[in-house]
Amino acid sequence: MVKHKTRTKKKSSSPRDNSSETDWPRVRRLTDRQIERAAADDPDAAPIATADWFRHARLLEPQPKESVSIRLDRDLIAWFKRPGKGYQTRINAVLRAYVDAHR
């Protein structure tokens, strides 16, 4: 039995795309206050950056990386690769957290 790949078309979320399920006329009528209230009630929304937040914020400049060769267990590499692109960045983040916790 031969399986054929089925292609699907990704729906655009552009306001000009008629295939969108968003009620754009309703969205355009929302006031800033209504949008702020909706964002405050959304547990997945990023917090609104206030002046106090900016006073305590730290600018973290990206650090240049150094290329190294390292031998790691196959299951570790597979675990870091499982979510998709960026596995080296994830490994770097774990190592950074370890170092910061032990300084």
**Is 100 inside any structural domain?**
yes
**Is 77 inside any structural domain?**
yes
pLDDT score at 6: 56
- The C-alpha atoms of residue 41 and residue 23 are separated, in whole angstroms, by 20
Q: What is the mean pLDDT of the segment spanning 6-10?
A: 55
Give tens-digit pLDDT for 27-67.
999 999 999 899 889 999 887 788 998 999 999 898 899 99
- The C-alpha atoms of residue 10 and residue 89 are separated, in whole angstroms, by 28
- The C-alpha atoms of residue 4 and residue 81 are separated, in whole angstroms, by 26
The number of distinct structural domains making up the chain is: 1
- The C-alpha atoms of residue 83 and residue 97 are separated, in whole angstroms, by 19
For residue 10, pLDDT over 60 is answered with no
Q: Which domain holds residue 77?
A: 68-103
**Is 82 inside any structural domain?**
yes
- Is the pTM of the predicted complex or chain greater than 0.75? no
Tokens of 100: 């910061």
- Inter-axis angle of helices 87-101 and 74-81, nearest 10: 110
